[in-house]
Each structure stands twice: as C-alpha cells, then as structure tokens.
Structure 1
Amino acid sequence: MEEPRKGPLAGVRVLELAGLAPGPFAGMMLADHGAQVLRIDRVEAVTDRPRRDVMDRGKRTIGLDLKSPEGVAALRRLAARADVLIEVFRPGVAERLGIGPADLHAVNERLIYGRLTGWGQEGPLASVAGHDIDYIAISGVLSRLGRAGGKPTPPVNLLGDFAGGGLMLAYGVLLALFERERTGRGRVIDAAMVDGAALLFAMFYTGIADGRWGPRGTNLLDTGAPMYDTYETADGGFLAVGPLEPKFWAEMLDRIGRVADVTDLPSRDDPAVWPLLRDRLTAIFRSRTRAEWERLFEGSDACVFPVLDVNEAVAYPHNRARETFLEIDGVPQPAPAPRLLGGERRREPGELAPATRLHDLTEWGLPEDEAAALREAGVLA
C-alpha cells in the first residue's frame, strides 16, 4: 500500500488523465501539497524506462485503454473512490468515451470533475485546435506584450498554459473541495486558458479604459520606462533594474555615483526624455561587469539585481537560504509553493516517478486480481 501522504491535501485522491503540460502542472501542485495523484496514461506510453518529468513528482502512473469497454469500466471503478478527476480532452471526447461528468457522477456524486481546455467547453472556438500563443492572443493580453515598435512577444507558454490554465484549474479544484464540505456534492470545473489569461491582466483594464495605459512597450511596467528594464553589462550579463519609487531611484543613483558620473542624467519624470535617459543608463551599466554591479548594489534598496540563468538561480544565496529549489532523482527543480507556515516543516514532494504496483490500486477500488487480469489482457499497463 502507498505510504500515507502529508500536507493539507492528505487524503484527497486525484485521477489525472494524461495530457500536455497544463494538466500535469495542476496535478503536480495538488500532489505537492499531499494529494494522492494517480496519472492515467495510454497503455503504450507506459514503459520500463523511468519518467524524469518534474511535473510527475509525487504521482503514480498506470496505463489504461480507454477505447475499450474494460478500460472504461476500470476507470469508473477508480473514479468511484476518487475526489478529483483532471481531464484535458477537447469538448465531447470524454463523453464519447463514456467517461464524461454525467458518466462518472453516476458512480460518485462527490467527484470534482476538472476540465482544462484552451477555449472552454462552449463557444465558437470550443472544438478548434490551438496553443498558448493563440489563447493569449484572443484574450487580448498578447497585444500588450513586447517592445515598443516591435511585434507582440509571448512569454514562452507561461501565461496561457500554466498560469491561465493549470494554476486556475488547481484553484478551481480547491474551491470545489471547500464547497463540497457544505453541499456533499462535486462540481464540474470549466477551466479555459483564454479565460485565465484574461483574468491575469485584470489590473490593467482600468488604465486602458481611462487612457493611462498606452500601446505595448510604452508604459511603466512593460519596458517603456528606463527605470523598469534590463541592461547589459560589460561581460555580456544583464541586470534587472526596477527602482520605480523615487526613494529607490535615489538609492540607485547614489550607488552608481560611487563609480560613475550621474549628476547630469535626464529627469526620470519627463517621458519625453526617457530615450535619452535609457541611452545614458545603457552606457553606464555596460561600463562594468555583472559581478561588479552585484557587489555595488548588495544590501541596498536600489532594486537592481542580476538576471540569473536557471542554473544560477538554483545556487543563488537567497534561493538556497529559502530552499526555493530542491533536487529529486538528480534533477534540480522548483520546490512546492506557496508555503504554509505555523505547522509542520514544509514537506518534500515525492519521487519523480515512483513505481506503481498492482496492489496499489486496491485502495482505489480495483482489486489486485482484477488489475492482474486487465494487465494480462493488455488493457492495463
């Protein structure tokens, strides 16, 4: 039997139907905080080679042939004991397989059925293919990302897939778990990446409406302002410069003034001279190496820090002190977040891909002899 999990979600059973990154990310977040997550993959995808995907940590994996009646029946048996199911198919696919919300609520009315798609369960685009870049484009957010005069630039697939999708689904699961304590019934969660991406941009809609937030790359927080940008150093490194408040700006100039002349810098309060101010700062920061600037700004409120490579971030003193990163099976990776203080020490997530044994499925309602028969028939891997 699987060892008992610890954390605020201990005792919560989650079935995660395998899919692209946002679904596994939501499952990882739940597993990180104690949920018992069983990942359901295709039979042919389950091999003897260990998985080393960070988003599989703390989960167990089996393969089920969901195109066979036996595989569907097995999933229903598992769902009868589950608290949550994560589904990432196009709308209608789960229903055609016989594992849609109505099918599974018939065997477990307490089940929280989380559906994660790009466009949502209804609407003109619901059945159309798409990716993160498309969802954030339709949300309106992509039009606001990028340098002034340049084309819209997506922040890899963080905004739609992970923040607008996986994170929102995990949030929806927690809402539904909380509500179920009062109602005794599950919910269907319709988590659409286009909805999530739009919501993440909520802060800026007032400024857009009243004209204070202009085209991309011209505003205070989108690299329009020289006091909120990145600058190259003499050795090809970069600094993140963000002293927005006047007192932090003064602190930055005081530190820079120890090694360079800043007495005639253009005013930061006049957007008309921002290009000139940016040029001057560019020249100043290129005059020394990143390490030299790090030493100069160390311990200050200047809001100037190095732009770290991912591998550098793992070893950065603050991150090491906070244990922001950890290593599992030789793979450095972010630690679970957020931290819940005041109780036990933050728990460590499980292995990246712990082995699944037949008897592990008995507590999910699938006896070992039946699981063995399904494996022999090629329905279960």
Structure 2
Amino acid sequence: MGSLLEGVKVVEVGEFVFIPSAAAILADWGADVVKIEHPQRGDTLRGHLSIFSAHGYDTGDFNYLVEQSNRGKRSLGLDLAHPDGRAIFLKLVAEADVLVTSLLEPSRERLGITYDDLKAINPRLIYARGHGQGQQGPAAHHGGIDTVAFWARSGMGYVFSDPADPKLPARQGYGDLTAGMFLAGGIAAALFRRGATGEGALVDVSLLGTAMWMLAADVVSSDYMGHLPTPPSFGHVPPNPLSALYRTGDGRALVFGMLKSDQYWPGFCHALGRDDLADHPDYNAFDKRTGNGALFTIITETLLTQPLAHWRERFDAAGCLWSAVQTPLEVGEDPQSVANGYLVEHPSRAGARLAASPVQFDNEKLRLRSGAPEVGQHTEEILLDLGLDWPEIAKLKDDAVVT
C-alpha cells in the first residue's frame, strides 16, 4: 500500500486540516510530500492545541490533529513572500508532480503561484486547490472553514440538529477530513490521466460542494419538491420498524438497518424473543409493518426490558443488520476496527494511534512511515536535494528565508 505512489513528488502549501489531510493521504499511499510552512510559526494549526483542550480534548503535548493530518511528510520552513524563498519554491515545483494548496486566489496571485504561473514552469503539474465555497460567485475569495462552509452554509447543521436549537459540530476537522479525501481522489484521477496523455490538470474541491454531495438526499429532494421533508425524531413511528432508532434497558441506543425487512423478519422476531410475531397476521408482510404504530410500540417496550449486552448477543447470533450507537472510545476497540487496522500505531509516539486513511489496496493495512514533522525539520535535506550548498543554506537562514 505504501508504495502505490512511490516516486510521486508533492508540494503542500496549506494550513489547518483540509489541504494537509489530502496530502497526508497521498503520503500514506507512498508519495514524497514536502510541507512548506512559515519559517517561524509553521502551520497555524500547531498553535491550536490549547483550544482543543478547552473543548475536552486534553491530550497533553500530543497535537493529535497535526499528527493526523501531517504524518509521513517532510517539513520545509520557507518564506514564500521573500524573493529567495519564492525562487526555492519554483525549483521545487519544477520537479514536482503535484501542488496542493489552500491559499485563496488573491494570495496566490500576489505570490505569483497561480495555476497559470506554475503551469508555465511545469506543464505536467497537477495543481490541486481546496477552499470553502467554490471558485466562482461572490464568496469565491472569502475564507472558509468546516463549521462555516461545510456545516452551516450547506444545510448540514440544519439537518443534524433541532432547527429551533442549532448546534455546531464539536468535531475538529469533520468537514475538512472528508473534503481532503475527495481531493486526494481527484489528484489520483488526474495523475492517471497524466500517465496516459502527459497533461497536467487543475483539481478543485470545496467544503460546500463536499457537504452538498454528502447531503444529496436532502438537498436534491428539497430542491425538487420546493419544501423541506419532515425529519424523523426519536419515538417517531418509522415507515419501517426494522430500520429505526431504539433504546435498551440500560439507556443505550441502537439502530436497525434492515431495509429488506421480509428477509430478516423471522430471525429478528426470534432474537427479540417474540417468535409469536413472525406469523402474526398483522405483521407478517412488509406492507403490514409499514408505519405500524402498534408494532413499533411492541419492539420499543421489548428492547427496554434488557440491557445492550443482551441484545448484542441476540441480534448478532440472528444475523440482524444493526449496531449500537457507539462512543468514539468504543470504536477504537470495536473488533471490526481492530481487525481491519482502522486505527494505526503512531511510529514514534508510544500509546498513540491515528485514523488510517480509509482506502486499502491489496488487503494491506496501513503502516505509517513517520509522524508529523517539526517545523523545518527537513529544510537542509530538501535544499541539498535541490542542489544548494551549505554556504547558500547558511545565508538563507541568516536572512530568515528558511528555518
């Protein structure tokens, strides 16, 4: 898996989570990713650990979002606004396969690193940009983070919270990490085309567009009908009682997802301890169960008689399609996440694990090559690879161009 993009050179000019996460996925797949950071402060995300801790994510000195989004990379501390820094950047781009950036168009124009600028230097370059609201329209040049562009503007926040009491997602990088996966996939597609034609490409992903894709069922149906659908709520009689949310006797929640309920109905009744329902004339066909409030009440009251552990054993044995509503702490020890390597050991931080990028190749589980680099950790190595000598590097450091 780690050698899939071996030999592909990626230059990253991005901060926070969206763009760095896309580049981290490329690194997972074997690409050599050079992360360009401000020579003094680095990626702004490096300074946000105290904010995360204030929201209950106190991981000490382990900056988990920096690690999650920057593992496997090399860091070059470089001032792009300095003429010497820009010259070094252009040398990197001339040899690169991919540039991935979160800089908005005005910033890229000011620095002279737009798609047209760099295409003139490297026609084979895959130029990938990620942003908030799209590159056209009145908000094209506005900043965008996941809470604003992905959650609020897209309708995501409306759908997943009570409209009378809107909520913000407490998950750092929720939309960013999703959009980063899409951008990594777009880059891979562009590399595939380049292999056939030799042509570079401009790849573009926005947080708003990503959220609208994920929320397509609501956006498309509302757009077509001209009004909002009525969202289901807890205790609301569902169209299909075998595809609904319930409580257990110990206060846990579980979800059934048996859309083909005729297929599961006899086994479900047995697991529920209600074999009498299987052939009951009021419930023995899909159309009879549809919207059936009496059946919903029977299932609800039966599930409240036993704790989750009891139902887990019963429903698993019956082959039902279901899951407990698990906590993030439980997910890390879920037998499925463990067996499939969905959390991967940090290569240098004992006791720490990071989420694996979700694509696997040839049944191979991901193994991380390295954790996130320190700011400028690989500056000298990268500059030497570009052909600079030690006196030149020393002068660049004296001039605060690199760190």
Short-chain TM bin:
0.7 to 0.9
Whether 1:40 aligns to 2:36 is: yes
Aligned position for 1:112: 126
Once the two structures are TM-superposed, the CA of residue 262 in structure 1 deviates from its matched residue by 8.8
Contact kept, 8 Å, 2:125 with 2:200, in 1: the verdict is yes
- Cα distance between partner residues in 1 of 2:282 and 2:370: 54
Give the residue type in structure 2 aligned to 1:251. Answer: G
Once the two structures are TM-superposed, the CA of residue 14 in structure 1 deviates from its matched residue by 0.9
- Cα distance between partner residues in 1 of 2:269 and 2:378: 62
- Cα distance between partner residues in 1 of 2:378 and 2:75: 10
Aligned position for 2:253: 238
Contact kept, 8 Å, 1:81 with 1:365, in 2: the verdict is no
Once the two structures are TM-superposed, the CA of residue 141 in structure 1 deviates from its matched residue by 5.5
- Cα distance between partner residues in 2 of 1:363 and 1:176: 29
Aligned position for 2:369: 350
Per-residue deviation, residues 83-130 of structure 1 (Å, max 9, x unmatched):
111111222211112222222223222111111011122211112344
- Cα distance between partner residues in 2 of 1:158 and 1:18: 14
- Cα distance between partner residues in 2 of 1:83 and 1:108: 9
Once the two structures are TM-superposed, the CA of residue 18 in structure 1 deviates from its matched residue by 2.7
Give the residue type in structure 1 aligned to 2:27. Answer: A
Give the residue type in structure 1 aligned to 2:272. Answer: I
Give the residue type in structure 1 aligned to 2:393. Answer: A
1:373 to 390, 395, 402: 395
Contact kept, 8 Å, 1:109 with 1:186, in 2: the verdict is yes
2:76 to 47, 62, 66: 62
Contact kept, 8 Å, 2:238 with 2:291, in 1: the verdict is no
Whether 1:339 aligns to 2:354 is: no
Aligned position for 1:9: 5
Contact kept, 8 Å, 1:114 with 1:190, in 2: the verdict is yes
Give the residue type in structure 2 aligned to 1:348. Answer: R
Contact kept, 8 Å, 1:25 with 1:55, in 2: the verdict is yes
Per-residue deviation, residues 162-214 of structure 1 (Å, max 9, x unmatched):
33x21221122112111112332311222222223333344667766776x97
Aligned position for 2:329: 311
Q: Which runs of 5+ in 1 are unaligned?
A: none
- Cα distance between partner residues in 2 of 1:157 and 1:7: 30
Aligned position for 1:185: 199
Contact kept, 8 Å, 2:344 with 2:366, in 1: the verdict is no
Contact kept, 8 Å, 1:144 with 1:152, in 2: the verdict is no
Aligned position for 2:314: 296
Aligned position for 1:253: 269
1:80 to 70, 94, 113: 94
Whether 1:172 aligns to 2:168 is: no
Per-residue deviation, residues 309-330 of structure 1 (Å, max 9, x unmatched):
2222222222222222222123
Once the two structures are TM-superposed, the CA of residue 23 in structure 1 deviates from its matched residue by 0.8
Q: Which moved more, 1:127-136 or 1:260-269?
A: 260-269
Q: Which runs of 5+ in 2 are unaligned?
A: 47-60
Secondary structure of 2:245's counterpart equals strand
Q: For residues 273 and 195 of structure 1, do their structure 2 counterparts lie closer, same or farther at Cα, with a shift above 3 Å needed?
A: closer
Q: For residues 71 and 280 of structure 1, do their structure 2 counterparts lie closer, same or farther at Cα, with a shift above 3 Å needed?
A: farther
- Cα distance between partner residues in 1 of 2:185 and 2:229: 31
Give the residue type in structure 2 aligned to 1:63. Answer: G
Contact kept, 8 Å, 1:359 with 1:367, in 2: the verdict is no
Once the two structures are TM-superposed, the CA of residue 29 in structure 1 deviates from its matched residue by 1.1
Contact kept, 8 Å, 1:146 with 1:216, in 2: the verdict is no
Per-residue deviation, residues 219-266 of structure 1 (Å, max 9, x unmatched):
9xx995443333332333222222221222442222012699899898
Question: Normalization by structure 1: what TM-score?
Answer: 0.82
Whether 1:128 aligns to 2:149 is: no
- Cα distance between partner residues in 2 of 1:214 and 1:249: 32
Aligned-residue sequence identity (percent) comes to: 28
Give the residue type in structure 1 aligned to 2:100. Answer: I
- Cα distance between partner residues in 1 of 2:402 and 2:318: 59
2:116 to 88, 102, 118: 102
Give the residue type in structure 1 aligned to 2:362. Answer: L
Q: For residues 317 and 96 of structure 1, do their structure 2 counterparts lie closer, same or farther at Cα, with a shift above 3 Å needed?
A: same
Per-residue deviation, residues 9-30 of structure 1 (Å, max 9, x unmatched):
1111111113121111111111
Contact kept, 8 Å, 2:157 with 2:168, in 1: the verdict is yes
Give the residue type in structure 1 aligned to 2:194. Answer: R
Aligned position for 1:227: 242
Give the residue type in structure 2 aligned to 1:87. Answer: T
Secondary structure of 1:282's counterpart equals helix
Question: Normalization by structure 2: what TM-score?
Answer: 0.78
Q: For residues 324 and 181 of structure 1, do their structure 2 counterparts lie closer, same or farther at Cα, with a shift above 3 Å needed?
A: same
Once the two structures are TM-superposed, the CA of residue 154 in structure 1 deviates from its matched residue by 6.8
Once the two structures are TM-superposed, the CA of residue 335 in structure 1 deviates from its matched residue by 2.3
